[in-house]
Amino acid sequence: MNSIPSETDFIVVGGGIAGLRAAIGLAEAGRVLVVSKQEVTESNTQYAQGGIAVALSDEDEVALHLHDTLEAGDGLVNIEAARVLVEEGPHRIQELIAWGTEFDRSGTRLTFTREGAHSRSRILHAHGDSTGREIGRALIARARTLPNIAFTEFEFTADLCVTGNRVAGALLLAPDGTRQMVSAKAVLLATGGAGQVYSDTTNPSVATGDGIAMAHRAGAAISDMEFFQFHPTALSLPGAPRFLLSEALRGEGALLLNNSQQRFMPRYHPLAELAPRDVVARAIVQEIANSSAQPALAFLDLRHLDSAHLRERFPRIYTTCKQYGVDITRNLVPVRPAAHYLMGGIKTDLGGRSTIAGLYAAGEAACTGVHGANRLASNSLLEGLVFGARAAEAMREERPGGSAKLEAHGNDSVANEKHDLPQQLKKLMWECAGVIRTKSGLMRLQEQIAQWKTPTGGAASRAAIETRNLLAVASLICESALAREESRGAHFRTDFPKHDDAKFLKHSVVIGDRISFGETGGQLEGL
Give the active site residues: 277
Among the listed residues 423, 358, 488, 493, the one whose alpha carbon sits nearest the alpha carbon of residue 73: 488
The DSSP code sequence of 35-93 is: E-SS-TT-SGGGG--S-EE---STT--HHHHHHHHHHHTTT---HHHHHHHHHHHHHHH
Neighbours of 144 (CB within 10 A): 11
Contact 121, 113 (CB under 8 A): yes
Q: Please give the single-letter amino acid code of residue 382.
A: L
Compute CA 421 distance to the chain's CA centroid, rounded to the nearest angstrom: 23
Residue type, 373: A
As to burial, measured by CB atoms within 10 angstroms (0-12 exposed, 13-18 middle, 19+ buried), residue 267 is exposed
Please name the residue ranges forming H helices in 193-292. Answer: 210-217, 247-251, 277-290
Q: What is the largest CA-CA distance in the chain?
A: 65
* Cα(34)–Cα(22) distance, integer angstroms: 10
Is there a cis peptide before residue 204, judged by omega within 30 degrees of 0?
Answer: no
DSSP string of 479-498, one letter each residue: HHHHH--S-BTTB-BTTB-S
Ramachandran angles phi, psi of 105, nearest 5°: -135, 160
CB atoms within 10 A of CB 510: 22
User: Could you give the CA distance from residue 224 to residue 108 in angstroms, rounded to a whole number?
Assistant: 42
**Using N-to-C axis directions, what is the helix angle for 79-98 and 131-144, rounded to 10°?**
70
